[in-house]
Structure formats: C-alpha cells, structure tokens
Amino acid sequence: MAAISQSKVGEDRQTILPYDFQEYDRSKREKRVTNGQEEIETAPVGARFTIIDETTIEDSYIIYFWTWQKDSARQKALNFEEGSTTEIKYFTVLKSRLDVVSKRIYRMWSPTIGALTFPFKYRPQNGKFETTFGIGVTGGVTWNPWRTNEHTFSLLGGISASSARVDQYSTDPAANVTDPSERTSVTFSLGIVYQWERLQIGVSAGIDNLLDNEILKWRYQGKPWLTVGIGIGLFAASEITTPGKN
C-alpha cells in the first residue's frame, strides 16, 4: 500500500534546533554553488520561514526566511542576496527533516467561525438552571499568543434560534398562560473560549427574545443568562499566516 503525504507548501514554520540550509537558485532551479562549493547557511533556533514550493532536488521544500530587522549579519546570511535588500535568498530543506528541525506556527490573530448550541442556561434572576435547545452560528477573533496552536483564546459573538419554556410562572399573570409550551426565541450571545490543542472550554452570556412576547409577556425577555461548555475541536484556528519578522 502506498502512502500519500500531504504537501506543506504555504506553511509558516519555526526552527526548533540549529540547522544547515542549502541555498537555492530559483532562476536555475538548482542548488547554489560558488567555486565548486555548495552554499550552506546555518539558521538558529527560533528562525521563522515560509515554505513556498517543492523541488525534486533530494525531495525537498523551497523556503525563505522572514527578515531579521535588527540583525544585519543574519539579514546578509539568510534574507537577501549580496549587496541587495530586495532580492530574497531561497533555501531548501529535506522533506524528511522538516518536522525534525521545525514546528508549524500560526497567526497570532485570526478570524473564527463555527456552530453554536447551548444545552443549558443559568438565569441569575431566579438562580435556576434550565435546559434548552438551540442552534446557530458564531464568529469572532482568536488570539494565538505563542503561535503554536496549543493554547488559544477566542472572543465570539453569536446568533441562534433556541427554545424557551413558557408557562404561568415565567409570564405575567395578565397573559393568562395556563398551558406550558416551548416557544422559539432569537438568542444573541457573547462568549470567551480557551482551547488547549483540541479541548475547548468556554463561558458565554446572552439574552433571549421571544417573537410573540407582546402577547405572552415573558419575564426573561431581554434578560441576561450565563452558561459554560466543553467541546472538542468545535472552532479551528486559521492555518493561514502572514509572514512577519524574525
């Protein structure tokens, strides 16, 4: 059975140990050689780079390093060709060594979108928990402070359609509700989610609005509620990064 590997072109990565990278001549599509010697440069731990293409030379990826703004020696060695500040240097790294010498990095800030559901709500007005059913969409922004996708924080706003129990205890007596029922409400929410790898823990607050509240006079119309939740991989961090600086 043949194994099919996924291309890593487009990924941004960071070295986790010093490594000798082979300089690559993109115009000639070959290793860069001077006076019969292959040009090799050593990148330190923490050097960030972007994979831009593949090459058949020793089954490698073509990369370029992000610019060292405050290190002219490394700019000369790893960023720009001799005498230039615009002509970028390119290097190759063996595919078989990529995950050994580097790890993937992600955007520090990225948009997030996902599905939304609340299994229960806590209403501070009466100190009670109530079960509910609803589904909707949520979106916001994710902060990935270490860019490793291991610990992230998301701020999410959402809108959903959810169920609300309507009975004589949750409505104004003037509404004269005698038979309990489940009604549909429009729910707006705001939440914070912490994610460790694939595990997610979140806290949300929101308000419900019954569509026919003028008749029912529901006591919780527009009143805040709270909920907590645990999920696995409900919201994914963006895998598209913006090359920056070393």
Q: What is the pLDDT of residues 49-100, one digit of tens each?
A: 999 999 998 999 999 999 998 888 999 999 998 888 889 999 999 999 999 9
Q: pLDDT band at 178, cuts 50/70/90?
A: confident
Predicted local distance difference test score (pLDDT) of residue 235: 53
pLDDT for residue 152 is more than 50: yes
| Structure tokens belonging to residue 8 | 């890593």
DSSP 175: G
Total count of residues recorded for the chain: 246
Alpha helices in 14-108 (DSSP H): 72-74, 95-101
Give percent above pLDDT 70 in the chain.
93
The region that residue 85 occupies, defined by phi over 0 for left and psi between -120 and 50 for alpha, beta otherwise, is: alpha
pLDDT for residue 113 is more than 60: yes
Cα distance between residue 198 and residue 236, in whole Å? 9
DSSP 220: T
Cα distance between residue 29 and residue 66, in whole Å? 21
- pTM for the full predicted model: 0.67
Query: Which residue's entry shows tokens 């058949």?
Result: 56
The residue type found at 92 is T
DSSP 57: T
Query: What is the three-state SS of 123-158?
Result: ECCCCEEEECCEEEEEEEEEECCCCCCCEEEEEEEE
Average pLDDT of the residues in 101-110: 89
Strand partners, 113: 139
CA 199 to chain centroid: 13
pLDDT for residue 135 is more than 80: yes
Tell me if residue 120 falls in helix, strand or coil.
strand
- The full set of domain ranges for the chain reads 12-105, 109-232
From the CB of residue 34, how many other CB atoms can be counted at a distance below 10 Å?
A: 8
CA atoms 27, 31, 35, 36: torsion sign: negative
